[in-house]
Structure 1
Amino acid sequence: MRFIVCAIYLMILIMPMTSGWAEGSNILLDPMQVCKKTQKLPNKILEICKQDSRNKTSILKKISNGITLGFRECENQFRHRKWNCTTQRRSMKKILLKDTRETAFVNAITAAGISYTIAKSCSMGELVECSCDKNLVRHNVLLNNNQMTGIDDLSNINNNNKSNNNNNYRNRNKKPKKNGNKQSRNPNNKRRSPSPTDGLPGMGENWEWSGCDDNVNFGNRKSKDFLDARYRRRSDIKTLVRIHNNDAGRMAVKKSMRLDCKCHGLSGSCTMKTCWMKLPSFSEVAHRLRDRFDGASKVIARNDGTSFMTEGLSIKPPTKQDLVYTEESPDFCKPNPKVGSLGIHNRECNITSKGEDSCEILCCDFGFQRTTLFVKYNCQCKFIWCCDVVCNTCIEKREIYTCR
């Protein structure tokens, strides 16, 4: 009898860890797991899994690299906060089982990491399924308006085109080469003077699109296929929030694209510029998402069962770019294995800072302690012909502060 009771108790403990939600979340830690499932997979995921995962050029391998990139950048963005996005001691698995603000960021940054990695791989020719984006139609539209410094302005450009006259509308289909002197004579095609920082060619310059951007559209599509296909038929609040945050991560990648140009001409002149849209470093994408993390909104399910709304009626509804969550974050000051909190004991803090990494904020109410270290380093180095470098050994006194 005692054996039966123990067996039932163990089953109760194991069941939450093997639920559909937990199963889907753990895939973020090991994306190869999704292809090992015995149940029927959605067609879009099945197409990805059919490729040889050992092949470095497979999409599944790029997805794995993208998730790793997302976790690495998550640790970088939160390294000075109480929750530092660590994966130690299964902390991340516990975070992914919840639906907190931290969970929202992890889901968004991993979706962004997949999209970013695949988009870059397409442009570098590392995938046979895609190449760089050669959307010349969009390029022509951008050239006629000459108002963008990033992909953010695409919607505004499309709206402005509807109000242009017929002559300006027909210009979109012409070869994407512009001469500033000719355009300045057209009163219906006014352009602003670009600033030196936005990379746009100035008036009087010849410029054209190379027609090969970073393929963010393909990256976003594959990120959505892999992460969202399993949940599209569900309408529970956790699924709605998860898909929303995944989309927010992918949108952060697309919104971060910017114009880049290369000069061409004799003797270093810039008589012609070739321009294309490219992605910045992934740190910039992660920083954009971290700002959304700080302004994330708590939401609840609507009565229709297919959407959500903010918990407070006076709170502004979240946009498609905002992060949302349904559960309050745990107290990360104290260790709590059940929620993935490792505490702040022995975390290094900054005694002179007033931000999140300051000793007063990071160490909660536990206080901090000072430790003096003597560090050896090379100094007063001299170059001796030929070809040695001789250095002295200096000792530097350093003081570090850690939370109690």
Structure 2
Amino acid sequence: MHVVFFVPAVYLLLVTTPFATASRAADYLVIDPNQTCKRARWSRGKMADICNKKPGLLHQIARGIALGQNECQYQFRFRRWNCTTAKRSIKKVMLRDTRETGFVNAIIAAGITYQVTRACTKGEQIGCSCSKRKRKKNNKKKYPQLPEGDWEWDGCGENIEFGIKKSKDFLDTRYKKRSDMKTLVKLHNYVAGRLAIKNYMRTVCKCHGLSGSCTLKTCTRKMPSFREVGNRLKERFDGAAKVIAGNDGRSFEPEGATIKRPGRVDLVYSEESPTFCDPDNALGSFGTRDRTCNDSSQGEEGCGILCCGRGFVPRQEEVQVNCNCTFKYCCEVQCDVCNVTKKINMCM
């Protein structure tokens, strides 16, 4: 089996500068979080504290940003805008407030939360300790999925609260004194990203005792896989709610009176997305010409949707695969490399 893994070459981070006008802030893309910290070198606050005093934590945040960006590219691999890291695309996309913007903000907040929590569990020196719980009578109400019978918490679980706090410290704190529509939507989607992890923590138990007996059962809380997090946020992207500013100037509400008010776990946006069908530098769109499509699918990857009705051209492509594999004693599998012709469809 020939497997190719894609790892993004850059880290994504959104940094907000002071207002260019009274109603709009400019968001910029930087390649490395360390460049963000150069801006915060002489400032104060929790983000500046991370930048200036906690290099280990900053490193894990950078890894979390990359984790989120990689998952975004996986979830959007068949969409007209495929979460490219090309600066002249994603920078323009993040200047707007579309569904795509909301998903990226959510998955980045989730990525930082996930990576920092995981690093804490592994014992990285980032100023945290594992999550220590005590079994209480009301735990069953709070966590209905907890096991029955006699058991106790393991000594060290995944400290999701620490991961959430550091994600907030790095992303949210710079916006706390602002209540413009763009900021409200951004902060809401940050929360939705983190809750896609926190609300789906699972309880994992193991038995201790001689000969497979369960003399003692210990349980701990674990995060879902990050692929599960990405899948869940992609579902919420598909069902995201369009919102408008509330009358109080400090909140938002659904655009239509018949639309259900979005909850904390839902993604929201305030601006319609462009089609991304044709190249447009102002929108960060590269278009979909020469993208590979599936002529038998009615979904996002289908030629009808991805090619925007322009049609497609069948082509032949040579690819290398492992073939003529044999087992050599002991214990090795040897294969030849063969060229095979594969049919692909390219958007016109």
The answer as to 2:297 corresponding to 1:359 is no
The answer as to 2:189 corresponding to 1:245 is yes
In structure 2, the residue matched to 1:77 is 75
Per the alignment, in what secondary structure is the counterpart of residue 84 of structure 1? coil
Query: Higher helix share goes to which structure?
Result: 1
Q: How far, CA to CA, are the matches of 2:74 and 2:218 in structure 1?
A: 34
Q: How far, CA to CA, are the matches of 2:144 and 2:29 in structure 1?
A: 38
In structure 2, the residue matched to 1:223 is 167
In structure 1, the residue matched to 2:244 is 300
Identify the range of structure 1 (104-113 vs 37-46) with the bigger mean alpha-carbon deviation: 37-46
Q: How far, CA to CA, are the matches of 1:42 and 1:398 in structure 2?
A: 57
The alpha carbon displacement at 1:275 in A equals: 0.7
Contact 1:108 1:250 in 2 (8 A): yes
Task: List alignment gaps of at least 5 residues for structure 1.
Answer: 1-16, 150-199
The answer as to 2:90 corresponding to 1:88 is no
Q: Deviations over 1:20-71 (max 9, x none)?
A: 4898733675322332126863421222122253xxxx11111111111111
In structure 1, the residue matched to 2:347 is 403
In structure 2, the residue matched to 1:45 is 47
TM-score calculated relative to the size of structure 1: 0.75
Contact 2:105 2:186 in 1 (8 A): yes
Match of 2:122 among 104, 116, 124: 124
Opposite residue 77 of structure 1, the aligned amino acid is Q
The answer as to 2:260 corresponding to 1:258 is no
Contact 2:312 2:347 in 1 (8 A): yes
Match of 2:315 among 371, 392, 395: 371
Q: How far, CA to CA, are the matches of 2:63 and 2:333 in structure 1?
A: 40
Per the alignment, in what secondary structure is the counterpart of residue 104 of structure 2? helix
In structure 1, the residue matched to 2:217 is 273
Q: How far, CA to CA, are the matches of 2:250 and 2:30 in structure 1?
A: 25
Structure of higher CA gyration radius: 1
In structure 2, the residue matched to 1:290 is 234
Contact 1:28 1:110 in 2 (8 A): no
Opposite residue 60 of structure 2, the aligned amino acid is K
Q: How far, CA to CA, are the matches of 1:271 and 1:38 in structure 2?
A: 54
In structure 2, the residue matched to 1:350 is 294
The alpha carbon displacement at 1:130 in A equals: 0.4
Opposite residue 118 of structure 1, the aligned amino acid is V
Q: How far, CA to CA, are the matches of 1:206 and 1:38 in structure 2?
A: 51
Q: Give the 3 Å change call, closer, same or farther, for CA 299–264 of structure 1 in structure 2.
A: same
Per the alignment, in what secondary structure is the counterpart of residue 298 of structure 1? strand
Question: For residues 163-182 of structure 1, what are the structure 2 equivalents within 5 Å?
Answer: none
Q: Deviations over 1:316-343 (max 9, x none)?
A: 1111111111111012111111111111
Q: How far, CA to CA, are the matches of 2:337 and 2:182 in structure 1?
A: 58
Q: Give the 3 Å change call, closer, same or farther, for CA 372–44 of structure 1 in structure 2.
A: same
In structure 2, the residue matched to 1:148 is 144
Identify the range of structure 1 (269-278 vs 72-81) with the bigger mean alpha-carbon deviation: 269-278
CA-based RMSD of the aligned residues comes to: 2.5
The alpha carbon displacement at 1:243 in A equals: 0.9
Q: Deviations over 1:207-253 (max 9, x none)?
A: 22104221111111111111111111111111111111111111112
Contact 1:241 1:324 in 2 (8 A): yes
TM-score calculated relative to the size of structure 2: 0.86
Task: List alignment gaps of at least 5 residues for structure 2.
Answer: 1-15
Aligned-residue identity in percent: 51
Match of 1:380 among 324, 333, 341: 324
The alpha carbon displacement at 1:120 in A equals: 0.9
Q: Give the 3 Å change call, closer, same or farther, for CA 377–288 of structure 1 in structure 2.
A: closer
Contact 1:51 1:60 in 2 (8 A): no
Opposite residue 70 of structure 1, the aligned amino acid is G
Opposite residue 74 of structure 1, the aligned amino acid is C
